[in-house]
Amino acid sequence: MDYISTRGSAPALDFEGATLAGLASDGGLYVPREWPRFSKDEIAGMAGLSYAELAARVMAPFVGQSLTYERLLELTTEAYGRFAHKAVTPLKQLDEQQWVLELFHGPTLAFKDVALQLLGLFFEEFLSRSDRNLTIVGATSGDTGSAAIDAVAGRAKVDIFMLHPHGRVSDVQRRQMTTVLAPNVHNIAIDGSFDDAQAMVKRMFNDTAMTDRFAIGAVNSINWARLMAQVVYYFAAALQLGAPEREVAFSVPTGNFGDVFAGYVAAQMGLPVAKLVVATNVNDILHRALSSGDYSQGTVTPTAAPSMDIQVSSNFERLLFDLGGRDGAAMAEQMKGFEATKAMQLSNAQREGAAALFQSARADQDEMAETIRWAWENCGELIDPHTACGLFAARTAGIDAKTPVVTLATAHPAKFPEAVERSTGHRPSLPARVGDLFDREEKCTKLAGEYDAVAEFVAGLAAPKV
Ligand SMILES: Cc1ncc(COP(=O)(O)O)c(C=O)c1O
Ligand SMILES: N[C@@H](CCOP(=O)(O)O)C(=O)O
């Protein structure tokens, strides 16, 4: 399997190359040249596998020759061995139609661990084959940061620089990043929003003053390996609910469009996905794009679901590329227009293609709060505000009553205790595995939201390429 850029002019790479490269050199995102497809019998044959085995089975076609199947299985076994639940991503029933897929049993309590625990191992494996050092530069609205830091802290040949928007992540999220004192971990709080941070990260990949000296790498969903690992839990959930014989719908709390794009990939691979419901908070660029074709960047409004306070959804480009006939030159033009004007209109092909599988909904603060209360009072479940956006959308999506709807529970409620307590009167406590988070020392550098300041900081501390 090789990987091509959504903007058409970067060289194609194998899985190892795409994992280490992160962003393509033409500014695009890597996608597999074609979608591997499983037959119905092959999908049926996955029922009953352990999570680690299922992960290796689903990912093997994407990994290709970069790892043997046996080595891939060793890595998935190691990564998912660190999860606190035996099922890794357990599925819970809320009522006749609604289910939640708990993706927060990893070390940092959010769905990001599912991919990042594995990505940390891929980096170690691939870097051990050369004398290259990797400088990871990432942006986080709260969860990617801690999961990536946990995955690479203390690892040889890797430095990580993680940008978060100052004052716009929860206390638990911030401390999960800033209390990791390993010498290869560098937290940066910037003035601005997650979108500003993500734009700086993408700029650094194309800044030759940086790329000539450092091998810049990505842990955000810019990195194809992130999305690949997220495809697996769609298979895990659907198999438990009767796939391949029965269709399943998913409702996905969405910001950067990575998690729900993984659902799209699962559908391309043959999983019977009835619908993908894209759930946003009031930062609703994706809801507007999918419901009216208007992908225009609004200003970011801080909400109780801060990890979804995003108005430029990086992975939407991957979907538009696929739906627009995989025309890299046209995609590059479309994205150039968006970058210049902060607005773009979807083509008819893109709108119609998206409508076949996706629908969308937007939850405001009251709807989120009310959904947290509903889940507690009716099902005895404490859910976090991001999951609440998803569940709100799932319950209002009008999916045929015979089709189970699975909401992805993307974060542990204890990451957002104030919002959960306001709605339910119950304050969720942190699981023992995150330990004495509030007693630990913090280390973080505050920088102005200016690219040059960030680049200078990274250049002062990162190890050169070789
Ligand atoms: C808890 C939580 N839920 C949902 C999302 C949205 O996921 P995505 O950015 O993949 O759309 C994020 C951030 O990515 C998150 O941290
Ligand atoms: N919500 C994310 C934002 C970054 O998204 P990513 O999936 O591209 O890493 C976060 O928590 O940081």
Q: Tens digit of pLDDT for each residue in 206-252?
A: 999 999 999 999 999 999 999 999 999 999 999 999 999 999 999 99
* Ligand 2 atom at minimum distance from 140 CA: 12
The amino acid at residue 31 is V
SS3 157: coil
φ and ψ at residue 138, rounded to 5 degrees: -135, 160
Does ligand 1 lie within 6 Å of residue 408's CB atom?
no
User: Is there a contact between 276 and 324 (Cβ–Cβ < 8 Å)?
Assistant: no
pLDDT of residue 345: 95
Cβ-based burial of 457 (10 A; exposed 0-12, middle 13-18, buried ≥19): middle
Does ligand 2 lie within 6 Å of residue 315's CB atom?
no
Given a cut of 90, whether residue 435 has pLDDT beyond it is: no
Does ligand 2 lie within 6 Å of residue 142's CB atom?
yes
What whole-number percentage of the chain has pLDDT above 70?
100
What whole-number percentage of the chain has pLDDT above 90?
99
Residue of 23, 29, 112, 230 to mutate, ligand 2, most atoms within 8 A of C-beta:
112
Given a cut of 90, whether residue 146 has pLDDT beyond it is: yes
Question: Using CA positions, which residue lies closest to atom 15 of ligand 1?
Answer: 307
Catalytic machinery residues = 112
Q: How far apart, in whole angstroms, are the C-alpha atoms of residue 226 and residue 258?
A: 8
**Range 335-348 average pLDDT:** 96
pLDDT of residue 454: 98
Given a cut of 90, whether residue 460 has pLDDT beyond it is: yes
**Range 278-295 average pLDDT:** 97
* Ligand 2 atom at minimum distance from 220 CA: 9
Q: How far apart, in whole angstroms, are the C-alpha atoms of residue 194 and residue 163?
A: 8
Instruction: Estimate the crossing angle of helix 51-63 against helix 224-240, to 10 degrees.
Output: 130
Confidence (pTM)? 0.97
Residue of 177, 316, 386, 408 to mutate, ligand 1, most atoms within 8 A of C-beta:
386
Quick one: tokens of 256? 């950067």
Question: How many CA atoms are closer than 13 Å to the CA of 260, on its beta-carbon side?
Answer: 32
Does ligand 1 lie within 6 Å of residue 198's CB atom?
no
| Sequence-distant contacts of 364-368: CB under 8 A, at least 24 apart | 364/281, 364/282, 365/282, 365/303, 365/304, 367/392, 368/281, 368/303, 368/304, 368/305, 368/392, 368/419
**Range 330-348 average pLDDT:** 96
Does ligand 2 lie within 6 Å of residue 144's CB atom?
yes
**Ligand 2 geometric centre to CA of 340 (Å):** 23
Does ligand 2 lie within 6 Å of residue 179's CB atom?
no
pLDDT band at 6 (very low <50, low <70, confident <90, very high): very high
pLDDT band at 171 (very low <50, low <70, confident <90, very high): very high
SS3 93: strand
**Range 176-182 average pLDDT:** 98
Which secondary structure element, helix H or strand E, spans residue 98, and what is its range? Answer: strand 98-102
User: Is there a contact between 1 and 36 (Cβ–Cβ < 8 Å)?
Assistant: yes
Domains of the chain: 91-107+224-424 (3.40.50.1100)
φ and ψ at residue 112, rounded to 5 degrees: -60, -30
Q: What ipTM was predicted for this assembly?
A: 0.99
pLDDT of residue 433: 87
Q: How far apart, in whole angstroms, are the C-alpha atoms of residue 395 and residue 97?
A: 9
Q: How far apart, in whole angstroms, are the C-alpha atoms of residue 258 and residue 264?
A: 10
Does ligand 1 lie within 6 Å of residue 170's CB atom?
no
Locus of tokens 């978060």: 164
Ligand nearest to the CA of 168: 2
DSSP for 380-436, please give it. Answer: -----HHHHHHHHHHHHS---TTS-EEEEE-B-GGGSHHHHHHHHS--PPPPGGG-S
SS3 78: helix
* Ligand 1 atom at minimum distance from 258 CA: 10
Does ligand 1 lie within 6 Å of residue 102's CB atom?
no
**Ligand 1 geometric centre to CA of 246 (Å):** 27
What mean pLDDT, rounded, does the chain reach?
Answer: 97
Given a cut of 90, whether residue 384 has pLDDT beyond it is: yes
Ligand nearest to the CA of 316: 1
pLDDT of residue 14: 98
